Amino acid sequence: MLQYDRFDPSACAFPRPRVPALPPLDRRQLGPARAAPPVPRRHFARGRYALGAAYRLTGVGPTRSLLAPAYHCRTMLDPALVLGAEVALYPLTPELHADLDGLRRVVAACRTPPAALLLTHYFGLPREVEAVAAWCREQGIALIEDCSHALPFTGASATRAAMGARGRYAVSSPYKFFPCPDGGWLWAAGGAPLPPASPRGPGVGAELRAALQALRACSRGPRPSLLDAAAAAIDAELTALAVQPAPPGRDWRETSEQPSDEYRPQEQAIRGLAVSRGIERRTDLQALIARRRTRYGQWLQAVDALPGVAPLFPELPEGVAPYMFPLRVFDPAPLFHPLKRMGLPIWRWDDMAVSACAVARAYRQGVFHLPCHQALDDAQMAWMTTLVQAAARRA
Ligand SMILES: Cc1ncc(COP(=O)(O)O)c(C=O)c1O
């Protein structure tokens, strides 16, 4: 049974983020429809349900375990728990590659033989896959590539080969990149069988509601950002916050064999919306990739030589579309609270299963996931980077 380290910020009453963490739809992102990638895929409502299908297909269940990375969000483990499987967490290096020696030790301690290993390409940057794939082949374990943070089937051929081409199965989470309400893809490599079809659609009502929302978002156009990125204004707000103490939030450990509330079994057999697939096909891919890369570069510049923080991945390989900008924060609490109180969108994996991996323990609260998506405007970007700089210098 897994134990989880959890963090509940509800007592902190953080305000709503002033900038969206994922790209909202606006008409500037759309263009002529592209052809679908020439790879057979199955469509789910979210990546987690696509993962569930991959786990089932590879035999994960009561008698066969899943090897999952120690740095994770709960939705990566949930589908294996729903199948009644043991989940064993393998350690990672500080760059979030699989630690192969640690992996061998974890396998030796498994109660049930592993059926599959999940390898995640964190934040959209390819992680080392060749050695892990070779080890999996040797052991008769299915490799599943988690491309939920990546934009598969795009970019240079080297990028395409580096993510989603080596695993028996791969999954992705298109709504993290495209301005669409849902989606989860499953595909196979090397002729592995896919489920005969995608699950059934979500129904006419759901499609109509989603289509209406999309039409409204496109007719409205992008909302102008009213953020004041002047360093003096941000500094004054931080000073005002500093004199009003706020509760720290609740940190605790618990044991559970249940999946998290983020996994809804009633959604696992429902296909993603056709509206989402329409938005994906009409999204201007080249602009999306270029804008994300620019924003990532701006984050790199903004945090360069800033005290107490460092980019987790200081190099962005050519052609890669980053999902978010991961910022390593060495003493997280003094930075997390003022930034969240100011309305900075920060995601963290602070609800995580406990493992022996020191990297996962440090990154659980000490890596902030910051937006770098294509819909950010210059004012939002300037406000976020100036705020992080001001807060880091104070902390
Ligand atoms: C690395 C990773 N894998 C899988 C998932 C599950 O994706 P989805 O939200 O589409 O279910 C997530 C969710 O954030 C994720 O971050």
- Ligand 1 atom at minimum distance from 122 CA: 1
Q: Is the CB of 154 under 6 A from ligand 1?
A: no
pLDDT at 340: 98
pLDDT at 329: 98
Q: Which has the closest alpha carbon to 131: 89, 101, 105?
A: 101
- Between the CA of 299 and the centroid of ligand 1 the distance, in Å, is 23
Predicted TM-score (pTM) of the model is: 0.97
Q: Which two tokens stand for residue 318?
A: 């050519």
- Between the CA of 48 and the centroid of ligand 1 the distance, in Å, is 6
- Ligand 1 atom at minimum distance from 72 CA: 1
Nearest alpha carbon, ligand 1 atom 2: 148
Q: Which long-range contacts (CB under 8 A, 24 or more apart) does 331-338 make?
A: 331/395, 332/365, 332/366, 332/368, 333/248, 333/365, 334/395, 335/308, 335/309, 335/368, 335/391, 335/392, 335/395, 336/365, 336/368, 337/12, 337/246, 337/248, 338/238, 338/241, 338/242, 338/391, 338/394, 338/395
- Between the CA of 47 and the centroid of ligand 1 the distance, in Å, is 6
- Between the CA of 149 and the centroid of ligand 1 the distance, in Å, is 7
- Helix crossing, 378-394 with 285-303: angle to 10°? 20
- Ligand 1 atom at minimum distance from 173 CA: 10
- Between the CA of 148 and the centroid of ligand 1 the distance, in Å, is 5
Type of residue numbered 324: M
* Integer Cα distance of 293 and 300 in angstroms: 11
Q: Distances from the Cα of 152 to the Cαs of 37, 54, 117, in angstroms?
A: 9, 17, 19
- Between the CA of 221 and the centroid of ligand 1 the distance, in Å, is 29
Residue-by-residue pLDDT tens, the chain, 395 positions: 899 999 999 999 999 999 999 999 999 999 999 998 889 999 999 999 999 999 999 999 999 999 999 999 999 999 999 999 999 999 999 999 999 999 999 999 999 999 999 999 999 999 999 999 999 999 999 999 999 999 988 777 777 778 999 999 999 999 999 999 999 999 998 889 999 999 999 999 999 999 999 999 999 877 778 898 999 999 999 999 999 988 889 999 999 999 999 999 999 999 999 999 999 999 999 999 999 999 999 999 999 999 999 999 999 999 899 999 999 999 999 999 999 999 999 999 999 999 999 999 999 999 999 999 999 999 999 999 999 999 999 98
Q: How many CB atoms lie within 10 A of CB 148?
A: 26
Residues 240-276: tens digit of each pLDDT: 999 998 888 999 999 999 999 999 999 999 999 999 9
pLDDT at 159: 75
Q: Is the CB of 350 under 6 A from ligand 1?
A: no
Q: Is the CB of 75 under 6 A from ligand 1?
A: yes
For residue 65, the surrounding DSSP H or E stretch is strand 65-69
